[in-house]
Amino acid sequence: MRVRILLILFLSFLILITFRLFQLQIVEHNKFAALASKQHWGYAEIPAARGRIFSNDGFPLVENQAAYLVYGEPPNVKDVKKTSELLAAILVEEKLKTQNSKLLDDYDLKKSETQRLLEALSQDLQWVPLAHKVLPETKEKIESLGIEGIGFEEEPRRFYPEESLAAHLLGFVGSDEQGQDQGYYGLEGFYNGDLRGRPGRIVEEKDASGQPILLGGYKKIPAENGRDLVLTIDRSLQFMVEQKLSAAVGKYGAESGSVVVVEPQTGAILALANFPTYDPSDPFLNTELAAQIESAESGEQSAKSAEQWKNGAISETYEPGSVLKALMMSAGIDTKTVEPQTTMIDSGPITVSGYTIDTWDGKHHGEETMIEVLQHSNNIGAAWVGQQLGAKTLRSYFLRFGLGEVLGIDLEDEDTGIVKELSEWRPVDLATAAFGQGVSMTPLQLAAIFSTIVNDGKMMKPYVVNEIREGGRVIRIKPKELAQVISAKSAEIMVEMLTAAVEGGESKFYNLKTHRVAGKTGTAQIPVEGRYDPTKTNATFVGFLPSHPNFVMLVLLRQPSASIYAAETAVPMWMEITKELTVYYGIEPDK
Amino acid sequence: MRKLLSLKSILITTLVLIVILGSAQLVLANELSTEGQKIRESEAQRCELENEIQVLKKNVARLGSFSRIEEQAVELGFKYNPQAFEYLSYPKLAQVQ
C-alpha cells in the first residue's frame, strides 16, 4: 500500500514536472527564448558618420569630429552629489571654451549644471544620458577622475573649418524627438536624408558577467555613412562677399543684408550670404541670444532663434520696388508693346483710382524713351507701360518669371512670394505693380529674373549641390532649364537697355571705370499697417557685366539709415564687390 | 586471452584518440581565442587610427581656412588692395616684357 502511494505521488510529481516543462518550453517558448537571447546577446550601435559638405574647390565646409555621449548608471554611482559637482565643473569648462565666455556667467552655469546632473543621476533608472557630443579632451578629463557609474558612447559632432562661413546655406545639426541627429535649415535640412546615413550594429554573445565570449556568436552590420555633398559655392567668392556684406551693413547702418551671386547659364549659386549670421556649431548662441541659452538648451526654440537661422535670400519676401521695372520692360519688349525708342509723355503726377503716382524725385522730363524711363527709374513711365500691357499680360509675365511659386532651389524653407489673383487687381494695382509695389518676392527670385535676361531668356533652376558622393559613386546634378520666358531677341534688347540704365542712370557716379555694367536699382518703401513708411526703405541693386555675363549679382540692404536710396548704398557695395570679382575672374576692362 | 588483449588495445586506442582529439580541440580553441583577441585588438586599433585620421583632417581643414590664412598673411605683412590693380593693355604689356 505504502509503495503504491509513493508510486502515485512520484507519478503525480512527474506529471507536474512534465506539464511545467511543456508550459515553459512549448507554450511560452518564444517569451523565454527572447529573454534568454536578451541575456546572452549584446547589441551595440555603430554610429554612421554624417555626410560632409564641400565647396566647389573640394574644401570641407562641414567635417565630422570625434565626440562622445556621457551617460550615467545611477545604481552604480556611489556619491551622486560629488559626482554631479565634478562632472559639472568639467562640462562647464568645455562650454566656456567653445562658446563666447563673456556672455556666460561661470558661477550660475556651474550651479545649474550641477543641479541638472544631480536630478538626472537621482532618477530610478539604469541608464541616463548626461551630456551630448563632448570633445575627446573632456572625455579624457572625466575618465581621469575614475568615477564609477559613468560611461561614454561615440557620438560624432559637426566641425566647421570656416566657422560661420555660409551658415545660412549649410544649416545646422540638432536633435530630433528621439535624440537622433537631425539637420535643420539650409542643406542640412534639405538633404537630411542623404547626409544622415544608416547606423550599423554589432551583435555578440555575452557570458554571465556581461563580457563578450571570444568564441561565441558575433555579427557585425556595418554602418552606411551619409552621402557627401559638393557644392556650387565658390569658397573664395563666398568669403569675400560675406566680408563686404558685413562691412556694408555696418557702414550704411542697415538692419540686415543679403547677397546672391548666380551663374545665369546654369543656375548654379556661386555665393549666397546673409548678415547678421550665426555660428552653426553653436546655433543657439550669438551676441543677441546669450540670455536665451537656457530655454534653447531645454529644447524650446524661440521665435528669435528661428529668425536668425532663416536664409533671408530665399525665405524672406519683400516688395522690390523699381528693380522690378526690368521685368515689366521685358514683358513690354517681348510682347512688342513697346520698343527701346518708344516714347511716352511725363508731364506730371498722374492719378489712378484716386491714388497719386509720382516720380521718386519729383522731376518730370516730358517726352521720354523707354531707355530713359529705365535710366530715370520713372514710376509714371512704368505705370504707362503697365497700362499698355494690361493686368492679365503683366501678371502672366510675373508668373512666367517664377513669381508666386518656389523656384525649387535645394535649400530648406524657400518662400514663394505673393502675386495677387487677377480678380483682385484694381487699376492702381496694375500701375504700382509695374514699378514693383504690391508684389512680393524673395531676393533669389529677383536674381533669377535678371539671370533669365542674361541667359537669352531661358530661366534655369537655381541649385547649390553640384555632386552627391556615396562611397565611390558620384551623382552629378545637371543644370535644369525651367522655361524660355522671353525670346532671345527680347533678352538681347533688355541687356542693352539695362546697360544704358546704369551708364546714364542715377547710380552713374559709382560706376566702374574699367567695366561696363548692366542692372537696375530698387529703392522700395516698406509697407507698414496698410501704408508705406517714407522713412524706411529696402535698397536693392541687381546687375551683371554685359561683356562677361558669367555672373549676376543681387545686393540687398534692408532699411539702411545712411541713405534711403539704393543708388547711394546698394550700388556702391555692388560695385565694390564686382571690382574684386573682375580681378578674381581675370575679366579684362571693356571701357 | 586474445579476446582480452584485443579489448585492451581497443580501450587504449580509444583513450589515445580521446586524448589526441581533446588536445587538438584545446589547441584549436586556444588558437581561435588568441586570433579572436587579435582581431578585436586590430579592430580597436583601426578605430583609433580612424579617429586620428579624423583629427588630422580636422586640423588640416582648420589650417586651410580662409580666416586663418588671412590672419597669417596679415601677420606676415601681406596686403591686398584691389584698388591698386593696373590693367595692362597689350602694348603696355609688351613694354614691360
Task: Let me know whether A413 and A376 are in one domain.
Answer: yes
Task: Let me know whether A184 and A328 are in one domain.
Answer: no
Task: Let me know whether A191 and A248 are in one domain.
Answer: no
Which chain A residues are within 8 Å of B67, Cβ to Cβ? 162-163, 165
CB contact under 8 A, B66 and A580: no
Task: Let me know whether A432 and A472 are in one domain.
Answer: yes
Domain final residue, candidates A231, A256, A285:
A231
Query: Domain residues of chain B, as ranges?
Result: 2-74
Could you tell me if A233 and A257 are in contact, meaning their C-beta atoms sit under 8 angstroms apart? no
CB contact under 8 A, A214 and B57: no
Determine the structural domain holding residue A220 and report its residue range.
Answer: 46-64+161-231
Task: Let me know whether A269 and A177 are in one domain.
Answer: no
Task: Let me know whether A196 and A253 are in one domain.
Answer: no
Domain membership of residue A434 (yes or no) is yes
Provide the CATH number for the domain around residue A269: 3.40.710.10
Structure confidence by residue, pLDDT tens digits, A488-529: 999 999 999 999 999 988 778 899 989 999 999 999 988 887
Domain membership of residue A581 (yes or no) is yes
pLDDT tier, A298 (very low <50, low <70, confident <90, very high otherwise) = very low
Cell of A199: 547606423
Domain membership of residue A343 (yes or no) is yes
**pLDDT at residue A289, as a whole number:** 44
pLDDT tier, A292 (very low <50, low <70, confident <90, very high otherwise) = very low
Provide the CATH number for the domain around residue A58: 3.90.1310.10
Of A37, A42, A50, A70, the closest CA to residue A199 belongs to A50
- DSSP letters of A92-159? HHHHHHHS-GGGS-HHHHHHHHHHHHHHHHTSS-S-EEEEEEE-HHHHHHHHHHT-TTEEEEE--EEE
Closest chain A residue to the Cα of B90, Cα to Cα: A588
Q: Higher model confidence: residue A262 or residue A284?
A: A262
Task: Let me know whether A402 and A437 are in one domain.
Answer: yes
Mean pLDDT score of chain A = 90
Q: What is the DSSP letter of A546?
A: T
Structure confidence by residue, pLDDT tens digits, A72-110: 999 999 899 999 999 999 998 887 776 555 555 567 778
Can you tell me the distance from the alpha carbon of A241 to that of A51, in angstroms, rounded to the nearest whole number? 26
What is the value of pTM for the model shown?
0.84
CA torsion sign for A286, A288, A294, A295 is negative
**pLDDT at residue A120, as a whole number:** 92
Best B65, B70, B74 residue to mutate vs chain A (most A CBs within 10 Å): B65
Task: Let me know whether A193 and A226 are in one domain.
Answer: yes
Which chain A residues are within 8 Å of B87, Cβ to Cβ? 514, 588-589
Task: Let me know whether A444 and A424 are in one domain.
Answer: yes
The answer to whether B81 faces chain A, any CB pair under 8 Å, is: no
What integer is the mean pLDDT of A410-423? 94
Best A214, A235, A512 residue to mutate vs chain B (most B CBs within 10 Å): A214
Domain final residue, candidates A231, A249, A284:
A231
Domain membership of residue A467 (yes or no) is yes
Lowest mean pLDDT segment, chosen from A246-255, A443-452, B82-91: B82-91
Domain membership of residue A8 (yes or no) is no
Task: Let me know whether A180 and A268 are in one domain.
Answer: no
Share of chain A above pLDDT 70, in %: 94
Answer yes or no: is pLDDT of A403 > 70: yes
CB contact under 8 A, B87 and A514: yes
**pLDDT at residue A218, as a whole number:** 77
Domain membership of residue A348 (yes or no) is yes
Environment class of A447 (CB within 10 Å of its CB; exposed 0-12, middle 13-18, buried 19+): buried
E strand or H helix at A159, and its extent?
strand A157-159
Task: Let me know whether A386 and A530 are in one domain.
Answer: yes
Pick from B33, B37, B85: CB nearest A583: B85
How many domains are contained in chain A?
A: 2
Going from the C-alpha of B10 to that of each of B3, B15, B19, the distances in angstroms are 11, 8, 14
Can you tell me the distance from the alpha carbon of A37 to that of A152, in angstroms, rounded to the nearest whole number? 25
**pLDDT at residue A42, as a whole number:** 78
Task: Let me know whether A349 and A368 are in one domain.
Answer: yes
Can you tell me the distance from the alpha carbon of A1 to that of A334, in angstroms, rounded to the nearest whole number? 118
**pLDDT at residue B91, as a whole number:** 61
Best B66, B67, B69, B70 residue to mutate vs chain A (most A CBs within 10 Å): B66
Could you tell me if A160 and A280 are in contact, meaning their C-beta atoms sit under 8 angstroms apart? yes
Can you tell me the distance from the alpha carbon of A128 to that of A108, in angstroms, rounded to the nearest whole number? 23
Of A72, A65, A103, the closest CA to residue A88 belongs to A72
Can you tell me the distance from the alpha carbon of A208 to that of A464, in angstroms, rounded to the nearest whole number? 54
Can you tell me the distance from the alpha carbon of A216 to that of A288, in angstroms, rounded to the nearest whole number? 57
Domain membership of residue A3 (yes or no) is no
CA angle A573, A549, A317 (to 5 degrees): 55
Can you tell me the distance from the alpha carbon of A477 to that of A455, in angstroms, rounded to the nearest whole number? 19
